[in-house]
Amino acid sequence: MKPIIGIVMRPEVNQNSRNILGLYKEVSEAILLCGGNVLAIIPPHLEKLNAEEKENLYQIIDLCDGIILEGGDDFYDYDMVICKYVYDKDIPTLGICLGMQIMACLFDGEMLSLKDSFHNQKGISYVHDIHIVSSSLLYKILGKEKVTVNSRHKCYIKKTSLFVSAFYNDIIEAVEDPFKRFFVGVQYHPEDMITYDTLERSLFENFLAVCRGD
């Protein structure tokens, strides 16, 4: 049975200036390519959720074997609600870019704006190296202390109480909780890399294996 992976949809504005909710095609394709099924999770709204709205959201999350917190520009109350719930329930979770920042901010994180555009380079396969802590789950998955990644973000995490598993200079590039089944966030975009980088494909494959209960 293929695991069901919930992807939290994010608010966007389309070319006709209409407010929409969407998910990134590359993320859903990465899940499908690596052997999972996708369930889009629609947040009720962007304001603070009441108790009933939270319970409705939990009911949908409970249908999933794993959750992806994908990238975007801003995060909202529902992001923190979802992140705390999956953490408390030990539901395997992969955070990407903003998703990693949400994880970090939930645990005493501080997020700041980047002052240069070096880390916000769209369409470039490899931008910079990251250094991976050898005791981390990320190292166990990728098998290297240094890998080269893409980079597409305008903010960064300055600090967090989560375990920092990778960094580039003073920028946190990955976080995790070693006491959870899979609670890993990366600052870069592995979903864009799986067609040309087998290491980043292995990140999705390992995540899905945990979701399957392998």
**CATH number of the domain encompassing residue 44:** 3.40.50.880
Render 109-176 in DSSP notation, one character per residue. Answer: -EEEE-SSSTTEETT-S--EEEEE-TTSHHHHHH--SEEEE-EE-SEEEEE-SSEEEEEETTEEEEEE
- The pLDDT value given to residue 74: 87
- The pLDDT value given to residue 9: 93
Radius of gyration of the chain from its Cα atoms, rounded to whole angstroms: 16
- The pLDDT value given to residue 117: 82
- The pLDDT value given to residue 116: 81
The reply to whether the predicted model has a pTM over 0.85 is yes
Q: Which domain holds residue 29?
A: 4-212
**Measured between alpha carbons, how far is 125 from 200 in angstroms, rounded to an integer?**
12
In this structure, the chain runs to a length of 214
pLDDT in tens, the chain (214 residues): 899 999 999 988 888 889 888 899 999 999 999 999 999 999 988 899 999 999 999 999 999 999 999 998 888 999 999 999 999 999 999 999 999 999 999 999 999 988 888 888 888 999 999 999 999 999 999 999 999 999 999 999 999 999 999 999 989 999 999 999 999 999 999 999 999 999 999 999 999 999 999 8
Q: Is 200 left (phi over 0), alpha (psi -120 to 50) or beta?
A: alpha
Residue 166 to residues 25, 100, 138, 170, 174, Cα–Cα distance (Å): 26, 12, 8, 10, 5
**Measured between alpha carbons, how far is 14 from 23 in angstroms, rounded to an integer?**
13
With vertex at residue 53, the alpha carbon angle to CA 50 and CA 54, rounded to the nearest 5 degrees, is 85
Residue type, 133: V
Q: How many domains does the chain have?
A: 1
